[in-house]
Amino acid sequence: MLFTTYAYFPARTVFVAVVDPGVGTARRALAIETAHGRFVCPDNGLCSYVLDRQRPVAQVEVAEPAYLLPARSHTFHGRDVFAPAAAHLARGVPTAALGPAVDAIGALPPPRLEVTGSGVAGEVIHVDRFGNVVTSVGSLLWEDAQTLLLEPRFGAAGPPVRIPAVSAVSVGGATVQGIRQSYGHVAAGAALALVNSAGQLEVAINGGHAARALGVAVGDPVAVRFG
């Protein structure tokens, strides 16, 4: 979600991203400055996808007590560490003032995205609050009503790939025939594949919860078979 939204914000935005199961352990708190915003986050790979596109100008461990709450719990660093540090950045404190520079930070492996002569293999990377199943197959653009253009966002770099709109999309134990342009192109309650607003291939149910209905979870394989 961070990766698909950060570019819509002004270049000097301060992002506070806290998905932090390691709170209270030896994992570091980070402040990362790029040309398109500063990111305050735990050192657990949370900013990996952003940093694939935005080279850090500075990256430091958030450790300077002057920019943290004086009393810090072991279980709520979003309140006690990340939010205060971000507030100081927004007030003009330089990134370098928050703590010592760090050379290497944690990174997640990119999600699966492999292209062959007969199709594309990916995985489920997100289930949104509507139950829509978002996959790693992107970014996709409609070239015309019959053809989509895939410019791989993850995995090994390669040339754009043309995907026929009639291709079959399989996720979990379900297969959907054809890629549609919008939810309303199928009847209410019907499953469909489409390109979402972030350019990712998505499997949905018009008016329903696709992940629950199809028994799909993050990490499940996705296959596109060219029609």
Last residue of a domain, one of 98, 123, 153: 98
| Residue stretches of the chain with pLDDT short of 70 | 155-157
Same domain, 88 and 143: no
Q: Say what percent of the chain tops pLDDT 90.
A: 93
Same domain, 137 and 62: no
Are β-strands 221-225 and 14-16 bridged in parallel, bridged antiparallel, or unpaired?
unpaired
Last residue of a domain, one of 72, 98, 124: 98
* Strands ordered across the beta sheet of 29-34: 14-16, 37-42, 29-34, 58-61
Same domain, 70 and 134: no
> What is the per-residue pLDDT for 107?
94
Query: What does pTM read for this prediction?
Result: 0.89
125 in Cβ contact with 112 (< 8 Å): no
> What is the per-residue pLDDT for 136?
96
What is the CATH number for 155? 2.40.30.90
Handedness of CA 202, 203, 207, 211 (dihedral sign): negative
State the residue range of the domain holding 37.
2-98
Tell me the pLDDT tens digit for each residue of 167-199. Answer: 999 998 899 999 999 999 999 999 999 999 999
Tell me the pLDDT tens digit for each residue of 52-85. Answer: 989 999 999 999 999 999 999 999 999 999 999 9
Same domain, 213 and 134: yes
* Residue 106: inside a domain: no
* Residue 168: inside a domain: yes
* Residue 172: inside a domain: yes
> What is the per-residue pLDDT for 100?
98
Distance separating alpha carbons of residues 49 and 51, to the nearest angstrom: 5
Strand, coil or helix: 10:
coil
44 in Cβ contact with 2 (< 8 Å): no
Same domain, 23 and 62: yes
Same domain, 80 and 134: no
Q: Structurally, how many domains does the chain consist of?
A: 2
> What is the per-residue pLDDT for 96?
98
